[in-house]
Amino acid sequence: MTPDLRLAATQACDVTDGCITCGDVAVALTVLDVVGADARCRDELGREETVATELVGTVQAGDRVLVHAGVAIERLAAAATGG
Amino acid sequence: MKFVDEFRNPELAQVLSREIAQLCEPNRHYKIMEVCGGHTHTIYRYGVQDHLPENIELVHGPGCPVCVIPMGRVDDGIAIAERDNVILTCFGDMMRVPGGRGSFLEANARGTDIRMVYSPLDALRIARDNPDRQVVFYAIGFETTAPSTALTILRAEAEGIDNFSVFCNHVTIIPAIKAILDSPDLRLDAFIGPGHVSTVIGCRPYEWISRDFGLPLVCAGFEPLDLLQSVYMIMKQFTEGRAEVENQYSRVVSYDGNPVALKVLANVFALRPFFEWRGLGSIAHSALQVAPKFAKYDAELRFEIPGVRVADPKACQCGEVLKGVLKPWECKVFGTACTPETPIGTCMVSSEGACAAYYNFGQYAKQRLTLEVLS
């Protein structure tokens, strides 16, 4: 089963690394496929998450986006990291 | 890890550290404030301060969204959750923030249904799955997070979900910086500007800081080399007699921000006349509320909110820490009565809070201080 990034992020709220949402931390993800206004995305550790894409316009598989709280807030250049 | 290792390269850090030291005037003390909690976390976690000359002091500002929530707003959230048939949802770190009547976790022990979510869209899904319950999202965060709340309200309207509302505590960074600059307690030389907030608002809103106050500001990324490079860029401005807004994080932040996100924010939210910030007091036009045309999604109109102002515990000095006047370990209760397990102040709750970051990762700096005292 593919690890779920959202689940991992929610659990991370309880450990030393803290809550990535509260911490204004955004993560760089790669779009796998698009379903309506949502996109299934994957991070560099292979964890997946469905994110809303309305704020960054049309995306397609292979695009890189910066994601915060389940919403893509910016497009990234191919080699950029959000970390 | 691909794309990350190069921003944590120790050899490059040493090179940057030497170059920064060469730009320092030996008899001058530099105070540089980072206003983003994520930067505070990186500084302590990777010991960034230890790579800087002793006369460059990093001061931690009010950029942790959990830390600036006043106790009264926590109590307001509990009051909503105590109503019949309500599910309150919030981000993880918010669960442990102490209010006047305890935290959300403690409220749950008394019987409320307060659930942790990763995204406001998850709160909307809970509303969709529980049509006979009222689902409220306790929204916190700066301009990085506010667009996700705005987008969720737009989706709730598009889907006709009426049992969803937002208790809005979103704040904006610019008035907080203004309040700090107006504060007589603190003299600053430069700012490290927030990274992900700037993804949304861009760099232009900071230009008045350079123009009116003559201070450099560099928007920075979140890796240790990002921060070192930002300090280098600030020092370079000093040596060249410049005070400008610069963008170190250009691989993510564009100078004009994200215009679509800004438009959505302007559509869904309105500026509050005043909002109370923990430690900074009431600041004009510093927070967002749900705009009148989306009033039916405003929890403050849907429910009766006590709105009681609760004074911070006397022993807690979060206010001074948030303004950068005190270092975390200078607080009277740091590490004794106030720890991440039993926080008294909000700065000890979120890992982006200066106190928790120092408590968890500050042992190296403390060792260094001890050695200095012994020698």
Give contacts of B223 with chain A, Cβ < 8 Å: 81, 83
ipTM of the complex: 0.84
Structure tokens at B242: 């410049």
- The torsion region of residue B247 among left (phi > 0), alpha (psi -120 to 50) and beta comes to beta
pLDDT at A18 over 80: no
- Residues of chain B with pLDDT > 70: what percent? 94
Position B198 scores a pLDDT of 95
pLDDT at A82: 46
Interatomic CA distance for residues B115 and B134, integer angstroms: 13
Give the whole-angstrom CA distance, residue A63 versus residue B116: 30
Q: Which residue would you say has higher pLDDT here, B11 or A32? A: A32
pLDDT at B38: 84
Closest residue by Cα to residue A70 from A62, A60, A48: A48
Interchain CB distance below 8 Å, B260 and A57:
yes
Between residues 48 and 67 of chain A, which touch chain B (CB distance below 8 Å)?
Answer: 52, 54-57, 66
How far is B290 from B274, CA to CA, in rounded Å? 14
For residue B369, the model assigns a pLDDT of: 53
- Residues of chain B short of pLDDT 70, as ranges, are 1-6, 362-375
Residue A77, pLDDT above cutoff 90: no
Question: Which positions in chain B touch A54 (Cβ < 8 Å)?
Answer: 151, 154, 260, 264
Within an 8 Å CB–CB cutoff, is residue B34 touching chain A? Answer: no
pLDDT for res B343: 84
pLDDT at B371: 52
Question: How many CA atoms lie within 13 Å of B125's alpha carbon, on the beta-carbon side?
Answer: 10
Residues paired with B140 in a beta bridge = B169
Dist. CA B243–CA B298, nearest whole Å: 42
Which chain B residue has its CA at the smallest distance from A57's CA? B260
Query: What pLDDT is stored for residue A80 in this prediction?
Result: 52
CB B123 within 8 A of CB B297: no
Give me the pLDDT at residue B1, please.
40
Question: Is a pLDDT exceeding 90 seen at residue A10?
Answer: no
Element (H, E) at A68: strand A64-68
Q: Compute the mean pLDDT over every residue in chain A, rounded to the nearest whole number.
A: 79
Closest residue by Cα to residue B271 from B261, B285, B283: B285
The pLDDT of residue B5? 66
What pTM, to 2 d.p., does this model score?
A: 0.87
pLDDT at B278 (0 to 100): 83
- What pLDDT was estimated at residue B63? 77
What backbone torsions phi and psi does residue B292 show, to the nearest 5 degrees?
A: -50, -35
Smallest Cβ–Cβ distance between A74 and the set B7, B258, B351 belongs to B258
Q: Does residue B29 sit in helix, strand or coil?
A: coil
Determine the pLDDT at residue A19: 57
Q: Given B118, B148, B352, which is nearest A23 (Cβ)? A: B352
